[in-house]
Structure 1
């Protein structure tokens, strides 16, 4: 091997990147999981270099629980997130596009596998770089309260753009996707990407937090009964929230003229988050002239992700999303 100045410089860069990666907080994982179907992602990005802002006096303790006893798959969730971060999934042949996924969990916890890693691997297979967002939960005492998850989502989107060159990304082809309460976070980001919900900390915060496209999947949207998902509403704004607070955190009331194009999807037999949530967002986007593609299915229930969609009319929805992304020029 020829060793010259360029080789030395590149080696130094690689060493620096490796050191930075090693210093990041590992992805949430069960210390003694009875089974692990796929390896957990090894690469992560901490969102806040000096620690997450507005921490409670006693930090929540990060805890991971496994719900699956089937060795064929994992179904974990995490709560007590005090070090919000992105888990990075790099494809073998990156096409320059990225998707940031915010999994659901009713703002009680963040689902790891079903609405995070499984979709990330599917998108990786199509050349898309994926960042799974582990965001702070609003009921765990953070000063930002109902804006704490949005703070993490904005910061995460800016960091992805800031590091686009390092990941081989086009900073104008970065989409957001979210499921259930994570769909609320996705919709909150696509409508309030410009809201100042935290104080800037570095150069990344000079960049836009606006996703280039958004896909809220069976999302929580309404914060007003009876359409609201009661658990998400309680955890986000509290049971005694005023109508003004409900409105402030209902994305369909906050759609700006420059909101990104949206892909919406819901099963009409969803017994947890009523399909009216998606219809509210669709109507608001269309009223603003935002390009929107909507898919409603007769059956699928709630929380189907990829794996639980099989055998239902909603099966294969991910291919519709991928084709929609092609039409938006996000990927080929």
Structure 2
């Protein structure tokens, strides 16, 4: 079964250990640390890439303090989240046999925090086992005082895509084989990126910013899309645009309102019993992309709930979704 194979792949990549960090990687900010975590199920990533060489733009007078919390008491897995991110960065998962493809992963967390394991490291290990170089993005949160406000997470996502392309040679990547994948609020960030990849949300800082931030493929998984109630996820809406956002502000940050004909081919997936982020979010994005002639592939499942990632999909109709994504990715030339 796919879950058994997936578990074996994750275990093999962990047993082999992640590639030692490069000299440049050692100089970067480490991954979010969890000194209070009672256990670490798999080795932590050892290579990171800071997004901003001189610190991120538009910092508040008092920087937020990065804090990590562990929710799991089961030694079989970790389930951490991080907030107060003031050094946005990517954790890198290099495959033993890279195939030249890359995926930028934006985990969820309702724009209140960024999930570390369930929608970040677990997916990255699976992709690395498939030969794909994975980059897990720890992005700044819009409610923590940054000058860019609701565009601060998009600033980090655009910058991340450009940096991956700029350093493609270092990682053995084809810059034209880059997919953005996001979950829940991270799915909103992924959808925001695929519809507003060329929005000027920060001032260029170096040569990397001359490159396109358009991903070649995109995969928003059970994404937050609409910022208009009642379809909107209330927590994500509050953290991104504010409780009393005007209709104009809601539309500006609802990816289906910004859909475009040159959006990358997009893989959409949602469970119909999702009570946190209702399936209408995915349906709105699908309809808007299709109305503009953009290519989509959509999978809906009767059960799965919200936030299933890999581990919590087991035993549900949605459990084989990673195989569907990987098959689509192969058809689109992302992986071999």
TM value normalised by structure 1: 0.94
| DSSP-derived class of the 1:139 partner | coil
Deviation track 1:50-104 (CA, whole Å, cap 9, x = no partner) reads 0010000000000000000000000000000000000000000000000000000
Q: 1:264 Cα shift?
A: 0.1
Q: 1:330 Cα shift?
A: 1.0
Where do residues 40-51 of structure 1 align in structure 2 (5 Å cutoff)?
40-51=44-55
Q: Does 1:269 align with 2:273?
A: yes
The answer for the alignment partner of 2:257 in structure 1 is 253
Deviation track 1:27-58 (CA, whole Å, cap 9, x = no partner) reads 01201320000011000000000001000000
Task: State which structure, 1 or 2, has the greater radius of gyration over its C-alpha atoms.
Answer: 1
Select 1:166's aligned residue among 148, 163, 170. Answer: 170
- For structure 2, the residue ranges without an aligned partner over 5 or more in a row are 1-20
Where do residues 1-332 of structure 1 align in structure 2 (5 Å cutoff)?
18-332=22-336
In 1: Cα distance, 2:26 partner to 2:318 partner: 40
Q: 1:18 Cα shift?
A: 3.5
- Whether the 8 Å CA contact 2:260–2:294 is kept in 1: the answer is no
In 2: Cα distance, 1:312 partner to 1:271 partner: 16
TM value normalised by structure 2: 0.93
In 2: Cα distance, 1:331 partner to 1:179 partner: 20
RMSD between aligned residues: 0.7
- Whether the 8 Å CA contact 1:29–1:40 is kept in 2: the answer is no
Deviation track 1:275-305 (CA, whole Å, cap 9, x = no partner) reads 0000000000111111100000000000000
| DSSP-derived class of the 2:143 partner | helix
- For structure 1, the residue ranges without an aligned partner over 5 or more in a row are 1-16
| DSSP-derived class of the 1:127 partner | coil
In 1: Cα distance, 2:256 partner to 2:115 partner: 24
| DSSP-derived class of the 1:265 partner | strand
The answer for the alignment partner of 2:5 in structure 1 is none
Number of equivalent positions: 316
Once the two structures are overlaid, the 10-residue window that deviates more, 249-258 or 102-111, is 249-258
Deviation track 1:174-212 (CA, whole Å, cap 9, x = no partner) reads 000000000000000000000000000000000000000
Deviation track 1:218-263 (CA, whole Å, cap 9, x = no partner) reads 0000000000000000000000100000000000010122110000
Q: 1:119 Cα shift?
A: 0.4
